[in-house]
Structure formats: structure tokens, C-alpha cells
Amino acid sequence: MGRIFNQIGTAVLLCATILPCTGFAADPVPPVVKEGKSASNVDNTAINNRDKYAGNKTPEDQANTPEDRTLLAAVRRSVVQEKSLSVMAHNIKIMVDAGAVTLRGPVKTADEKSKVEKIVQTVKGVSSINNSLDVKTN
């Protein structure tokens, strides 16, 4: 057993000394990322923090019954299969609890927000919808 750990340690040491020479560890960050000009426009970290601390349901609160998981999968599939929606809309947070669906996250337009809700309404088993989607303004 000690021999195996010794070989693993040697391999880790070799990797640590070889990688910096190959340029993998020292690759510079692209200038666009350094400047971060559009960083606040491309993620919804602030919205995630708002939802987390405001006592709102998050995907971590998703019910774990087989019925809720099946309905969640059906709702997600319906949203993702709608190709006219933006990537932003495809990535919304969806939570299901006893047939009640909660939608959170940013979408591009008010029309897209209502379109997502209409798509979810067509899924069999949805009893109600809490549409808390945010429309991106900039």
C-alpha cells in the first residue's frame, strides 16, 4: 500500500514541476475577462443572492417525490425544446412542489416571460404557476 502512495506522490510531484514549463499553469487571462466590461450583464449572481436570502424557494428546495421530479423533468423538457426561446430562458430555475411550479431567473423580454408561462401551462400535471421571472433591462 505504501508503494502505491509513493508512486502517486511521485506522479503528483512530476506534474507540478512539468505543467508550469508547458504553459498550462501560466496562461494569461484573456483581456476581455480582465476588463469585465459586461460581467454584470451576463450572469444573475445578484438575483441568485436576492432569492437565496429573501426566503424564496431555490432549486435546492426542490421536492424530491417521484411525482415532482417527473413533473420537473417534463416542464424543463418543454421549455428547452422551444427553440424560439433564448438561452437565458432555457436556463431559468424551475421548482415543483405538489404540482405547483415556480419559475425564477432572467429572460430577455416580457413576451418571452409570458411565452415561458404559456409553455409550462400546457404540461400535464401543472396545477399552478408562480411566474417570478425577471425581464433583463440592459
Annotate 76-115 with three-state secondary structure.
Answer: HHHHHHCCCCCHHHHCCEEEEECCEEEEEEEECCHHHHHH
What pLDDT shows up at residue 135?
Answer: 86
Chain segment 15-40, per-residue pLDDT in tens: 544 444 444 444 443 333 333 333 34
What is the per-residue pLDDT for 29?
39
pTM of the predicted structure, to 2 decimals: 0.61
Sign of CA dihedral 27, 28, 34, 38: negative
Between 20 and 43, where is the model more confident? 43
Give the pLDDT band of residue 121 (cuts 50, 70, 90): very high
- pLDDT value of residue 8: 57
Q: What is the pLDDT of residue 104?
A: 87
Model confidence pLDDT, tens digit, residues 48-107: 666 565 556 666 666 788 999 999 999 999 999 999 999 999 999 999 999 999 998 889
